[in-house]
Amino acid sequence: MNAIMPRSTDHLIDPDMLARWSPRSFTDEAIGDVELMTLFEAARWAPSAFNGQPWKFVYVRRGSADWQKFVDLLLPFNQEWAQHAAALVFVASRVNHTNANGEVTTTRSHAFDAGASWSMLALQAIKLGWHAHAMGGFDHDRAIAELGVPEGWRIEVAIAIGRQGDGSSLNETLRAREVPSQRKPLTEIISEGRF
């Protein structure tokens, strides 16, 4: 059920970082208020430019009145598996920032900051025995309209949260991919002194 392909690192890191991955199979277990709010609490403490915290999480739980609306915003590929999650979340970021002088300026790091917040949520999920799978495959324009996202905000990702299932409910293609992915070597993603 929770068999995880061994992952290895070149340098020692916290094991929860290796345990974090994005499964597509979920059990039918519901997520309670305390656990879900704990995930959002972790997200709240992410670092951000000017401590602006330019993120907003809009969520529903499976079985709620708005559940199908959220599922329908996903592209069909993601609907197929994400409909079984315990919760669906859309993460938006605020594009502008009002500085101390009252001037409105574009925040270049709004998406980066929202991404840091999502990462904190994902790591907290692992600590509680849940998984969070972020996806960009959704109808962005419809999501903005149907979720009432105000001007000056952008939806970055949708997230499916659930307890990992055994994968047998997935189609053959997805079942074959239901393992933690590896990562590029450090030599491909870092450089010293120059790009």
- Domain chopping of the chain, boundaries: 27-177
Mean pLDDT of 83-88: 97
Query: For residues 10 and 7, what is the distance between their CA atoms, to the nearest angstrom?
Result: 10
Task: Find the mean pLDDT for residues 96-110.
Answer: 88
Domain at 27-177, CATH from 3.40.109.10, 3.40.50.720, 3.30.70.120, 2.130.10.10: 3.40.109.10
Please count the CA atoms within 13 angstroms of the CA of 113 that sit on its side-chain side: 23
**190 pLDDT exceeds 70?**
yes
Q: Say which residues have a Cβ less than 8 Å from residue 110's Cβ, sequence separation at least 6.
A: 54, 93, 94, 95, 97, 154
Q: Of the given ranges (65-74, 86-95, 166-175), which has the lowest mean pLDDT? A: 166-175
Listed range (87-101, 126-140, 167-181) with the worst mean pLDDT: 167-181
Q: How confident is the model over 124-129, as a mean pLDDT?
A: 96
pLDDT at 100: 82
Distances (CA, A) of 74 to 1, 44, 109, 138, 163: 26, 25, 26, 4, 20
Could you tell me the end-to-end alpha-carbon distance of the chain, in angstroms, rounded to an integer?
A: 42
Kindly report which listed range (61-75, 76-90, 138-152, 180-194) carries the lowest average pLDDT score. Answer: 180-194
DSSP class of 182? -
CB 142 within 8 A of CB 84: no
- pTM: predicted TM-score of the whole model, two decimal places: 0.89
